[in-house]
Amino acid sequence: MGKKKKKTYKVWCFYCEREFEDEKILIQHQKAKHFKCHVCHKKLSSAGGMLIHVLQVHKESVSKIPNAKPEREALTDLEIYGMEGIPADILAAHDGDGYDGKHTGLLHVIMGLWVSLKPNIIMYIMFVLGITLFNAG
């Protein structure tokens, strides 16, 4: 304790949870590790694109995303590209110092509380916030 955590804007890979400094590097990683055809090693732009490529070009069906964590490897119907397309609940469940590009201001505060506090406390805060806004308007 006492050490201030430096604010970083790290991005992370949905499939293997590795963190990267930059979304461009993340996308390169995803293409190289998760969107690559296992037959001809062509890099596709999404998992879905890779599955279609393997099916159409090599007549093989792929049901798992390569190099992904076991709980993520079957999520082939999600169109993930960098930090785009990650379901909100998974994004929120990822630890607090993750991607910060889109969650600014009040929304960011709520997202932060959501991660660190219990949902019933959030419900209470939302309720109080609702009353405040109602009275103000």
Positions in the binding site for Zn ion (CB under 5 A)? 13, 15-16, 37, 39-40, 42
3 state SS of 83: coil
- The least distance separating Zn ion from the CB of residue 26, rounded to whole angstroms, comes to 8
Cβ proximity to Zn ion: between 29 and 111 the closer is 29
Cβ proximity to Zn ion: between 13 and 27 the closer is 13
Q: Which letter does DSSP use for residue 42 in this model?
A: P
The token pair at 22 is: 């930059």
| Contact in structure between 30 and 81 (CB atoms under 8 Å) | yes
Q: What is the largest CA-CA distance in the chain?
A: 63
- The least distance separating Zn ion from the CB of residue 100, rounded to whole angstroms, comes to 20
- The least distance separating Zn ion from the CB of residue 15, rounded to whole angstroms, comes to 4
Cβ proximity to Zn ion: between 30 and 111 the closer is 30
Cβ proximity to Zn ion: between 39 and 126 the closer is 39
- The least distance separating Zn ion from the CB of residue 19, rounded to whole angstroms, comes to 10
Q: Burial, 112: exposed, middle or buried (Cβ in 10 Å; 0-12, 13-18, 19+)?
A: middle
| Contact in structure between 60 and 39 (CB atoms under 8 Å) | yes
3 state SS of 105: helix
